[in-house]
Structure 1
Amino acid sequence: MNELWKYNKFSILLVFICTIFYWGFAYQLERIDFIKMSALWVGLFFISYRIIKINSGNIKLLAGIALAFRILFLFAIPNLSQDFYRFIWDGRMLLEGFNPYLSLPETWIAEGNAPIAQAQKLYNGMGTLNGSHYTNYPPLSQFCYVIAGVFSGNSILGAAIVLRLLIILADIGTFFFGRKLLQMLHIPEHRIFWYILNPFVIIELAGNLHFEAVMIFFIIWSLYLLQKGYWYWAAMALAFSVSVKLIPLLFLPLFFQKFITGFNTSKLKYRFFKLIGFYSIVIITTVLLFTPFLSAEFIANFSKTISLWFQNFEFNASIYYIIRWIGYQTIGWNIIGTVGKILPLIVIGILLILTFFRKNKKTSELITVMVIGICSYYFLSTTVHPWYIAVPLSLCIFTNYRFPIWWSFLIICSYTAYINLDFKENLWFVALEYSIVFGIFIFEVLKNTSKVSLKSIYT
């Protein structure tokens, strides 16, 4: 009993310290103060690790702590990202009957006839770069923005609170289905907290209002349904995920082996039928969700905005920065326009290799190739914002890979770009981030590959 009380007192102390740190992050931090940010970040990661280790057998306690930390951010305006201003803009535009995909915020502001409340304040908040591009947020994201507009059409803080509540609900759903999926895969339940209690997730998603949280909820729900054998509902959930963020489209090829070799209870032709049905449901549902916005102008604007991420924007890249440096040394200018068209083709090639040449018929194997596939995409991307890492982080807890957890910690290095108001990346910190991430990734690939080889020899 004394030993138990000692651990309880220590846990209370750790939670109290975390509360102070999160409060500082939410209400007392400016993005340019990297020293304070990194100190809080490191402290939160270390203490959260200890909380999970000490209380790994107390799922309800850890879940309550994770929820409490999120609620701490409830009345905070995001201080590390400006994207939420665009979310609010899009939602209010839809409520006024305007298609947000067909107009630019900068045009409304220049003409002085924006039909929404606080238009100038929202435009100033999102910044001229965001305001000069067409929105690229899919329909279910837009629906969430509309909800914020319905309940808070005249208050930015009120809209932020509504958006945050939606993200917290998504995290609760991820916890619920993620825990069940871990049980079904015979993996320790407390692993869910490497995602749910991860300071990166709490700060970047619940804190800074990035809707990767909602996308991840639908991905985890889809995988849970697939493991249960409800492939048709799994397809629907995956389509909802795509309709929040497009990134899950990358996973579609990887389901091939799961259907063709993973469902051994039916004949091959029925397995093909299920596969075709799965893909059809995903594609048809996604298209139906986009239907209210579809037009030739929408397709032109949406595709133009998406292409910017490959051919114009650069941030926190890894392999691309090396290619860019080689381009400067050999040609003398930035070759992003050319490389940005080639790198996606390489990603497609990697996904096809993972689809047909790597064993992934079991759900755990499928999730493993999903981790490798999405990280291959990010390793080759020209732009890797911190919140992108939430996807491989959420999936890795079902696998033998831990490098996304390390990446979620090291991603703080990317925020050195905001130390100066003119936004300039410190490539030494970027190099430090990826050197460690790649080192752990290569080590784990070799380690897990050798385990598979040894298993095949002795079975």
Structure 2
Amino acid sequence: MMLALCAFYFSFAYNLVRTDFVKLSSLYLALFFLSFKLIQQQKTNWKLLLGFGIACRLLFLFALPNLSQDFYRFIWDGRLIVEGINPYLSTPQQWLASGKIAAIVQGEELVKGMQALNASHFTNYPPVSQFVYALAGIVTPKNILGSVMVMRIVLIFTDVITFIFFRKLLQYLKLPLHQAFWYFLNPLVIIELTGNLHFEGLMVMFLVIAFYLLLKKKLIWAAILFGLSVSVKLLPLVLLPLFFNYFRKQEQLNIYKLITFYGVNFLSVLLTFLPFLSVNLIQNFGDSVALWFNTFEFNASLYYIIRWVGFQTMGWNIISIAGKILSVIILLSVLSLAFFRKNNSCQRLFVSMLFALSIYFLCATTIHPWYVITPLAISILTRYRFILIWSVSVMLSYSAYRTNGFEEKLYLVALEYILVISVVAYEFKSTKKLFCG
């Protein structure tokens, strides 16, 4: 079984193009099935599974990512930083138009690789991610594959640390320790983090360590680590309101400690941004982030229904309106979970986090497969399993990439979300108490 998994991962890394959806989906389903059979058979042999998970990741070491071009932008940003240039103040296309792109090593190749859409926008990757990109630029300043390898090694290391703290948390929560492998050996995690270099893995590592420190009553360090997770990806900001009732109703914690937690958190984020602060940073960064709510659309669920209604009633794409409405729905949902649900235990807090993120992504206009990794990580700390199904069905979104262009197959998008929502409904029905811890 292990040899088969290694062979499939090797094929995925070195002998697959994104447009070959039949091969992609077949390999992925085989990987998912065999991985979970392996966990089932060897769940008590954690050293074997840990070593095997690392080995699977190392198979990708010498491969360029084949499902995403984002890594070209990562390398571009890192090389700007190495040259002493703030990556938040210019777009790659501006460099190309200025005729000064030769100042960036392999600049034209990087811009071509990231493609026009990415190259035309300001970077939206927060500072801690940028520090890793810069590390790659320092270690391998003239080699794209070398930079990929540096970032890949960092992400493999973060996954191992995440696994270690998952086990600590599961032990504290009195949940089966082998659940940590539902994340560590999940093909979505291995392929999208190690394979395609998405930095959700680094964000999850900081989050998981922050949760552990919070349970150990190490408030300041927990806040610092949570802040670092925000400075990798902004997504954890969605979770911050959920701490209100957790702090307020803990015997040894109170509202003053809640304020301390929030204060140290935001201070940590601010300190990471300090090296890049400028007059235009907030405007450029904000404009780039806003694109994900008001312009970009991919593999959405609720939004696609609203978009269809808009076409039927208005005759045009109402994404700019729908994006704002859905943002309000997300905000109200998270605040409801924060103030009207008794998040007075870590079990209940993690369940609230899981559903806050699930609502966020169900309302989002863009859902790439690697986005599901964060709620997957939170789900490991609960008894809900619907995200495991989503980690399989989300790969249907790759059917949109074709040799002659890009076109989503909406029936496959519908199938993806029908599967997930069906499992959610089943889990609600089978639990005696809604949102139980």
The interval holding the TM-score normalised by the smaller chain is over 0.9
Q: Is the 8 A contact 2:293 2:324 kept in 1?
A: yes
Asked if 2 retains the 8 angstrom alpha-carbon contact of 1:32 and 1:421, the reply is no
CA distance in 1 between partners of 2:48 and 2:343 (Å): 35
Tell me, yes or no, if the aligned pair for 1:250 and 1:374 is still in contact at 8 Å: yes
Matches of residues 286-297 of structure 1 in structure 2 within 5 Å?
Answer: 286-297=269-280
Q: Which amino acid aligns with 2:385?
A: R
> Structure 1 residues 62-71 or 104-113, which shifts more?
104-113
Residue pairs, 1:59-458, within 5 angstroms: 59-114=46-101, 115-261=103-249, 263-265=250-252, 271-448=254-431, 450-451=432-433
- TM-score when scaled to structure 1? 0.93
Which amino acid is the alignment partner of residue 91 of structure 1?
G
In 1, the alpha carbon distance for the partners of 2:434 and 2:11 equals: 45
> Structure 1: which amino acid aligns with 2:149?
I
String of CA shifts for 1:287-346, please: whole Å, max 9, x gaps: 111122122211111111111100000000000000000010111100001111121111
Distance in 1, Cα, partners of 2:322 & 2:433? 36
Deviations 1:12-69 (A, max 9, x none): xx00000000000000000000011111001000100110000011111110111000
- The aligned counterpart of 2:45 is 58
Alpha-carbon distance in structure 2 between the residues aligned to 1:170 and 1:421: 37
Say what the alpha-carbon RMSD is for the aligned residues: 1.3
Aligned residues: 436
Q: Secondary structure at the match of 2:365?
A: coil
Q: Which whole-Å CA distance do the structure 2 matches of 1:265 and 1:281 have between them?
A: 19
Question: Counterpart amino acid of 2:345?
Answer: K
Task: Say which SS state the counterpart of residue 62 (structure 2) adopts.
Answer: coil
Counterpart in the other structure of 1:10: none
- Matched to 2:372, the amino acid is I
TM superposition shift of 1:420: 4.0
> Could you tell me how far 1:231 is from its partner in structure 2?
1.5
CA contact (8 A) 2:428 2:434 kept: no
* Partners of 2:345 and 2:372 in 1: CA distance: 24
Alpha-carbon separation, structure 2, partners of 1:369 and 1:451: 14
Partner letter of residue 320 of structure 1?
Answer: Y
Code of the aligned partner of 2:326: L
Match of 1:4 in 2: none
**In structure 2, distance between residues paired with 1:123 and 1:427:** 31
Separation in 1 of the partners of 2:136 and 2:86?
Answer: 17
Matched residue type, 2:347 = S
Counterpart CA distance in 2 for 1:328 and 1:257 is: 42
